[in-house]
Copies of this chain bind each other. A is one copy, B any other.
Amino acid sequence: VAAALVADLAAFRDRHRLDRVVVVNVSSTEPVPDPHPAHARLEALSVALCEPGTVLPPSSLYAYAALRAGCPYVDFTPSTGARLPALAELAQAQRLPYAGHDGKTGETLVKSVLAPMFAMRNLAVRSWSGINLLGGGDGASLAEPGANAAKSVSKQRVLGETLGYVPEGTTSIEYVADIGDFKTAWDLVTFSGFLGTGMRLEFTWHGCDSALAAPLVLDLARITAAAHRAGRTGPLTELAFFFKDPLGDVDHALSAQWEALRRFVTGLE
C-alpha cells in the first residue's frame, strides 16, 4: 500500500509540474494505535511494511508515504501521524520538515489565551470543565470512544502547560446532528483570588470548524513549503501557534506562539 501512495504523490507532483507538494492530514481522528516494535526504528518499519498485517494506523501510513515521496507532512488532527521515532528518522534521512498536531480552531484557542490570563494575574484555577456539542462527520467520528479519548487529551494539554498545574475537570464531546458543521462548546472555570475568594467564568463558543480550519490549513501549507524551500528539516516547533498539541517543548500561551511564528516566518523570507 505504501508504495502505491508514494507513486500517487509523485505522479501528482509531476502531472502538475510542481516544485514541491505538502501533505496535510485533515481526515477524521483515529484511536491511539497499539504499540508495535517496528515503530521504533526506520529499518524495522520498512521491513514490516512489506509483510502482511497492519503495522501503522492510516495517518502514519500516509506520513510514511509522504516522506518517502519527498513531501513535507503536516498533521492537522490528533492522530499519530509522523509522531513515531521511525518516521522522525525517515524525515531526517529525507531532509524534510514536518508539523503538527491537531489544529487549534475553537475552544482550545480560547483556553490558550484565558489560561495565561489567570496565570499572569496569579488567580488559582480550581476547575475547568467543558462540553463540546457538534454534528457533521467530525462529530460522528469523535463520538467513537477511542477517537474521543485521543481528542480530549489533546484539548486539556494547554492547561497543565500554561498554568503549571492541572485543575480538576474534563472536556466531554457529544455528537448532536442538529448542530451540523458548527460546534457549540461551553466551559465553566472556577477560580480563587485574594483571601481565597471563589469566582467563576463561563463561556460559550459557537464556531464553524471548517471555516476556522481552512485558513490555518492554507497558511500551514504555505509556511511549510517555504520552510522546505529554505532547507529546514525535522519538527517545525515554531508552528505551535496552529496546534492544540504542538511538537516539542514549547510555550502554550498564544501570544508567545504568535511571536515565535512571526520570527520564524520573517527568517524564511
Contacts and interface: CB of A to CB of B under 8 A. Distances in A.
A133 interface: yes
A261 B262 CA distance: 22
Contacts of A197: 208, 211
Interface in A171-198: 172, 174, 176-179, 182, 184, 186, 188, 190, 193-195, 197-198
Interface stretch (A24-32, A33-41, A117-125): A117-125
| Chain multiplicity (copies) | 4
**8 A-B pairs with least C-beta separation:** A255-B255, A197-B211, A203-B203, A126-B178, A113-B113, A194-B211, A127-B178, A199-B207
Given A120-B258, A193-B212, 19 more contacts: A109-B121, A110-B114, A117-B254, A122-B215, A127-B179, A129-B133, A131-B131, A131-B172, A168-B176, A170-B174, A193-B207, A193-B211, A197-B211, A200-B207, A201-B205, A201-B206, A202-B203, A203-B204, A253-B255
20 contacts: A109-B117, A113-B113, A120-B255, A126-B178, A127-B178, A129-B133, A131-B186, A133-B188, A168-B176, A169-B174, A169-B176, A186-B188, A186-B202, A194-B212, A197-B208, A199-B211, A199-B212, A200-B205, A202-B204, A255-B256
